[in-house]
A and B are shown apart, each in its own frame.
Chain A
Amino acid sequence: MKWLLRILAALAGLYAVLYGVVYVAMRQPPVRFGQFMKRMPPVLVWAALPAQSMWLKARQGTLAVGEEAPDFTLPRYKGNGTVTLSSHRGTRPVVLVFGSYT
């Protein structure tokens, strides 16, 4: 009976460590998180952990609805000048789609 409890405790400990390590990794900048996932067997993350809810929490971010959108000026991708977010103020709503090809 004692050995069974020990095994269970050890497993729970391992799970907690795995959870913690993956959660911390999810909060890292993209490139670092990518390097981490490269070395991680996918099943350990996606099957063993509640990865989706961890991800949504870890990547929640700091901005909230109702707050002022941080201003930026970025180049258009083919070099046709730049766009400043605040230049649309007072005119029309702006939809921002963050993403990449891969």
Chain B
Amino acid sequence: MPALNDLYKKYRDRGEFYIVYIQEAHPVDAWQMDVNVKEGALLATTKTLEDRSKAADTCVIKLGLDLPALVDTPDDFVERAYTGWPDRLYVVDKNGRIAFKSAAGPFGFKPEDVETTLKRLLSEGNTNRASNAEGQRRGDQSERDLPQS
């Protein structure tokens, strides 16, 4: 995921980034994918925190991720709250509200949408302008409605 690393490098001093490591999308014991077999991405369904931490470790190393990773609980508490599986992106603003929610992955997983939101939030923060954008942005709305910064 070079796009994620680039984003992290660019904004890490102005925002927090976390991978939330959740249940495997294509574990060997369920819906396995040929492409994962070819690439040797072979992991079983993770049932304990230990399993999941190991899987997260493998993922971070193999994909060369620079972002800090958190491990979701074995009962998928955070995944269920955020409907995060199989993958999904969120931006939470500094008031603790959801500023961006991507469509469900893999189709909706577009790191460039996160950058659009970050730019908006950071420029709002700088000018101290009241946020009127709340609720305007949904999923895949494009950049054209946003103030140019």
Contact = CB atoms under 8 A, between A and B. Distances in A.
A65 B92 CA distance: 9
Interface string B26-39: 11001111001000
Contacts of A16: none
Contacts of B62: 101
Contact of A89 (B25, B68, B94, B101): B94
B50 to A, nearest CB: 10
Nearest to B31: A37
A76 to B, nearest CB: 6
B27 A102 contact: yes
A64 B98 contact: yes
B69 A77 contact: yes
B17 A97 contact: yes
A98 to B, nearest CB: 3
B118 to A, nearest CB: 6
A101 B20 contact: no
B79 A30 contact: yes
A60 B104 contact: yes
A64 B18 CA distance: 20
B126 to A, nearest CB: 13
A31 B25 CA distance: 8
B60 A95 contact: no
Contacts of A102: 24-27, 32-33, 36, 41-43
Among the interface residues A61, A85, A89, A97, which one has the most CB atoms of the partner chain B within 10 A? A97
A69 B11 CA distance: 21
Which 4 pairs of residues, A with B, have the shortest CB-CB distance?
Answer: A61-B83, A98-B84, A34-B30, A59-B104
Interface of B: 4, 7, 11, 14-27, 30-33, 36, 41-43, 45, 49, 53, 55-60, 62-63, 67-73, 76-101, 103-105, 107-109, 114, 117-118, 121-122, 134-135, 137-138
Interface of A: 29-31, 33-38, 52, 55-56, 58-72, 74-79, 83, 85-86, 88-102
